[in-house]
């Protein structure tokens, strides 16, 4: 059983529909006790980082997520859910994250090193550049196109957690992971074959049903 963490800031419908397509059992919980017995968890996210951290705290999920990670339970963060796993974000003022990955979230500057302006947010289909292929999450995933929508981006010096990147006027961490904790900046449930493959790998290769 997969638990979808509902703290009021995730696209629960599209994630749940993707799991139904994969015939993966799931339940949605707005409090830890509602999904405490699940074998793996998805942390979706849409919106602003400070609001999300406040909501996670109010719903009692901060310690719950950290405990599950330490206990070896698989967790998959999606979009803002990925960013929340890092140390801090500058969005709306400096806000501490869950501190499960090293790094900081900053806004795309909208201008490259040559002074050329570009659009923010990074929105649309972009190609993955694979850095790691041996992890169970990455099985049968190629350098395919996936769907991004984000104005803030991960900055980390820890190359060992980088599974895949994309290029949008700079290197954009697209998939990160370490052992049982994985995440993607893009929306796998909206990313065609590659996204569905990632969700299937998480639910059927990483999670012990």
Q: Provide the number of structural domains found in the chain.
A: 1
pLDDT of residue 113: 87
pLDDT surpasses 70 at 209: no
Q: One of 38, 150, 189, 200 is an active-site residue; which one?
A: 189
pLDDT mean over 137-166: 97
Is 79 marked active-site? yes
Q: What b/e string do you get for 81-120 counting C-beta neighbours within 10 Å, with b at 16 or more? A: bbbbbbebbebeeebebbebbebbbeebeeeeeeeeeeeb
Q: Model's pTM, two decimal places? A: 0.96
Rounded CA gap, 105 and 94, in Å?
Answer: 9
Task: Give me the pLDDT at residue 10, please.
Answer: 86
Is 189 marked active-site?
A: yes
List 38, 187, 200, 203, catalytic entry: 187
The 10s digit of each residue's pLDDT in 110-150 is 999 889 999 999 999 999 999 999 999 999 999 999 999 99
Q: Could you tell me the residue range of the domain that residue 188 belongs to?
A: 2-206
User: Over 70: is that where the pLDDT of 72 sits?
Assistant: yes
Q: What is the mean pLDDT of residues 34-63?
A: 97
What is residue 20's predicted lDDT score, i.e. its pLDDT? 97
Which CATH number goes with the domain that contains 131?
3.40.50.880
DSSP H or E run through 126: strand 122-127
Q: Is 203 a catalytic residue?
A: no
Residue of 79, 150, 169, 203 marked active site: 79
What 3-state class would DSSP assign to 205? helix
Query: For the CA atoms of the chain, what is the radius of gyration?
Result: 16
Helix (H), strand (E) counts: the chain = 5, 14
């Amino acid at each position: 059983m997969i638990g979808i963490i509902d703290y009021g800031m995730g696209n629960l419908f599209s994630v749940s529909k993707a799991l139904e397509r994969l015939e993966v059992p799931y339940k949605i919980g707005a409090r830890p006790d509602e999904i405490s017995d699940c074998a793996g968890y998805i942390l979706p996210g849409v919106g602003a980082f400070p609001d999300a951290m406040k909501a996670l705290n109010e719903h009692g999920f901060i310690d719950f997520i950290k405990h599950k990670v330490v206990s070896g339970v698989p967790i998959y963060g999606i979009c803002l859910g990925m960013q929340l796993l890092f140390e801090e974000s500058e969005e709306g003022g400096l806000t501490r994250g869950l501190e499960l990955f090293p790094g900081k979230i900053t806004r795309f500057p909208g201008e490259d090193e040559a002074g050329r302006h570009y659009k923010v947010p990074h929105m649309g289909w972009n190609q993955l550049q694979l850095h790691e292929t041996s992890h169970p999450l990455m099985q049968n995933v190629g350098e395919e196109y996936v769907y991004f929508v984000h104005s803030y981006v991960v900055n980390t010096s820890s190359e060992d957690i980088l599974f895949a990147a994309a290029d949008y006027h700079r290197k954009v961490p697209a998939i990160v992971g370490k052992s049982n904790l994985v995440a993607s900046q893009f929306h796998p449930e909206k990313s065609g074959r590659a996204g569905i493959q990632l969700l299937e790998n998480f639910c059927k290769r990483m999670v012990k049903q």
